[in-house]
């Protein structure tokens, strides 16, 4: 979608939020709602701050990730009033504010002070944001029942949000292609991260989460957080889980690549890719997301049997006895939006057989989810299987061969539509 078309969707998005917020405020009896953008906290005992990204509800309305100490006032029937902190400061620059259509439906004022502006005739006021910012602000701070309903306003994405998420996918896919080339060219984890940043034109601090870039065994640590600056003597596999933010909206994509000569691992990647595509095809209105998670375990069991990693136990037994959980310990995915693990995913707690599942809802049009099956060789999880009564079913020589490749994850971002789904990652060429 061209930039101009995308930008012209934003005023409609803001009108939709106005309606959703007015309903939530009426239910909870509030006349006004003030949202703090937040500010980067200082590192303890230091004069340096953490990188700032912004508070979810503020980003939901504005997409302005760089605006610290700013405030947004919502009142029924009135234009949203946005106070942007733009101090005269010779140490730092203020974020630029290009002239865009959303400014026609919000009143923007610039302020020099960090404190919340004085509000006339606010009536019963709720104030939401990082409590550290709210010390001297009047009103009810972060009332839980209201917050829960405001989270719910983020579940069904507007056309503007879906356009932003699609763009975040297009940019990230370019980064993943560059990362793959850097890996096949012999790059280290650090060099692969540079290739990703260069292709996405995004500083790592601005990404929705710290990129996970693991070569070989490192691919088996789910949120591996370091970058070796030297490439290993033999690079066998790359797992990269990395996204970008576009106007506040996140992509969250994972790809796994094997080096040449890794026949067994390459076949497992291919098998998991086929499973992942089938799971993406399950995404549709009315589908219980937990059922997609459970289907993943069945698919992992079939893969483990087909690849000869286990033998003598049928697929059903592998799931029932918890063997698949040792290879696939996380959930199949989560909501995605202004936060990478977007809010309101669990009206019901995760079931006992899926303790790390972040989304337990029935899918509805407008929801955006990730589908991210994985298959890993994680010694701390597999040791208890190997040492237990089921250990004799595991083919240790196959496991040892795979161990040095760490693991596989394949992750796409999928929108639930009225009659099925749109896979934003594959649409972008990922
Ligand atoms: N990148 C974190 C996740 O996939 O949930
Ligand atoms: Mn991810
Ligand atoms: Mn994810």
Which ligand gives the minimal distance to the CA of 356? 1
Q: Are residues 170 and 313 in the same domain?
A: yes
Q: What does the pLDDT read at residue 263? A: 94
Which ligand gives the minimal distance to the CA of 223? 1
Choosing from 152, 170, 200, the residue where a domain stops is: 152
Choosing from 137, 152, 167, the residue where a domain stops is: 152
Q: What is the domain-level CATH number for residue 366?
A: 3.90.230.10
Q: Are residues 89 and 56 in the same domain?
A: yes
**Global pTM value:** 0.97
For residue 361, give the nearest of 423, 283, 251 by alpha carbon.
283
Residue 135: give the domain boundaries. Answer: 3-152
Q: Which atom of ligand 1 is nearest to the CA of 334?
A: 5
Q: What does the pLDDT read at residue 120? A: 86
Q: Which atom of ligand 1 is nearest to the CA of 254?
A: 4
- What residues contact residue 171 under an 8 Å CB cut-off, 6+ apart? 200, 201, 202, 244, 246, 251
Ligand 2 mean position to 325 CA, how many Å? 18
Residue nearest to atom 4 of ligand 1 (CA): 252
Q: Are residues 62 and 102 in the same domain?
A: yes
Q: Are residues 57 and 99 in the same domain?
A: yes
Q: What is the domain-level CATH number for residue 56?
A: 3.40.350.10
How many domains is the chain partitioned into structurally?
2
Q: What does the pLDDT read at residue 361? A: 98
Q: What does the pLDDT read at residue 89? A: 95
Choosing from 115, 133, 152, the residue where a domain stops is: 152
Q: Are residues 267 and 306 in the same domain?
A: yes
Q: Which atom of ligand 1 is nearest to the CA of 330?
A: 5
Residues at CB less than 6 angstroms from ligand 1: 209, 241, 252, 340, 372, 411
Q: What does the pLDDT read at residue 244? A: 98
Dihedral pair phi/psi, residue 399, rounded to 5°: -60, -45
Q: Are residues 219 and 173 in the same domain?
A: yes
Q: Are residues 263 and 395 in the same domain?
A: yes
pLDDT tens string 157-190: 999 999 999 999 999 999 999 999 999 999 999 9
Q: Are residues 236 and 112 in the same domain?
A: no
Which ligand gives the minimal distance to the CA of 371? 3
Q: Are residues 70 and 144 in the same domain?
A: yes
Walk along the chain (430 residues) and give the pLDDT tens digit of each residue.
889 999 999 999 999 999 999 999 999 999 999 999 999 999 999 999 999 999 999 999 999 999 999 999 999 999 999 999 999 999 999 999 999 999 999 999 999 999 999 998 999 999 999 999 999 999 999 999 999 999 999 999 999 999 999 999 999 999 999 999 999 999 999 999 999 999 999 999 999 999 999 999 999 999 999 999 999 999 999 999 999 999 999 999 999 999 999 999 999 999 999 999 999 999 999 999 999 999 999 999 999 999 999 999 999 999 999 999 999 999 999 999 999 999 999 989 999 999 999 999 999 999 999 999 999 999 999 999 999 999 999 999 999 999 999 999 999 999 999 999 999 999 999 9
Q: Are residues 143 and 171 in the same domain?
A: no
Q: Are residues 177 and 314 in the same domain?
A: yes
Ligand 2 mean position to 393 CA, how many Å? 31
């Amino acid at each position: 979608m061209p930039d101009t078309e995308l930008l012209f969707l934003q005023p409609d998005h803001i009108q939709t939020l106005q309606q959703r917020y007015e309903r939530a405020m009426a239910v909870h009896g509030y006349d006004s709602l003030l949202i703090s953008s937040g500010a980067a906290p200082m590192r303890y005992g230091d004069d340096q701050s953490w990188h700032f990204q912004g508070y979810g509800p503020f980003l939901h309305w504005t997409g302005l990730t760089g605006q610290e100490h700013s405030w947004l006032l919502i009142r029924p029937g009135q234009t949203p009033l946005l106070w942007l902190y733009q101090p005269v400061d010779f140490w730092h620059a203020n974020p630029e504010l290009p002239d865009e259509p959303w400014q026609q439906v919000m009143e923007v004022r610039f302020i020099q002070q960090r404190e919340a502006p004085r509000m006339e005739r606010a009536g019963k006021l709720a104030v939401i944001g990082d409590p550290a910012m709210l010390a001297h602000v009047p009103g009810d701070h972060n009332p839980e029942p209201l917050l829960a309903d405001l989270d719910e306003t983020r579940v069904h994405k507007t056309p503007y949000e879906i356009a932003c998420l699609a763009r975040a996918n297009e940019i990230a896919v370019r980064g993943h292609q560059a990362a793959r080339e850097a890996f096949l060219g012999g790059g280290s984890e650090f060099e692969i991260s540079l290739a990703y940043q260069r292709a996405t034109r995004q500083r790592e601090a601005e990404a929705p989460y710290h990129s996970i870039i693991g070569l070989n065994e490192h691919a088996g640590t789910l949120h591996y957080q370091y970058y070796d600056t030297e490439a290993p003597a033999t690079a066998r596999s790359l797992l990269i889980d990395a996204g970008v933010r576009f106007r506040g909206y996140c992509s969250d994509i994972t790809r796994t690549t094997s080096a040449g000569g890794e026949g067994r691992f390459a076949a497992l990647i291919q098998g998991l890719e086929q499973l992942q595509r089938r799971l993406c095809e399950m995404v549709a209105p009315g589908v219980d997301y937990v059922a997609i998670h459970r289907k993943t375990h069945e698919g992992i069991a079939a893969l483990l049997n087909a690849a000869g990693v286990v033998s003598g136990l049928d697929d059903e037994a592998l799931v029932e006895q918890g063997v698949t959980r040792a290879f696939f310990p996380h959930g199949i995915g989560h909501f995605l939006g202004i936060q990478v693990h977007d809010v309101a995913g669990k009206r019901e707690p995760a079931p006992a057989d899926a303790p790390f599942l972040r989304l337990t809802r029935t899918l509805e049009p407008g929801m955006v989810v990730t589908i991210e099956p994985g298959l890993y060789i994680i010694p701390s999880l597999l040791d208890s299987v190997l040492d237990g009564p089921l250990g004799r079913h595991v083919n240790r020589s196959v496991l040892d061969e795979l161990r040095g490749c760490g693991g596989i994850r394949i992750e796409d971002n999928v929108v639930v539509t009225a009659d099925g789904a749109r896979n934003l990652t594959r649409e972008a060429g990922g």
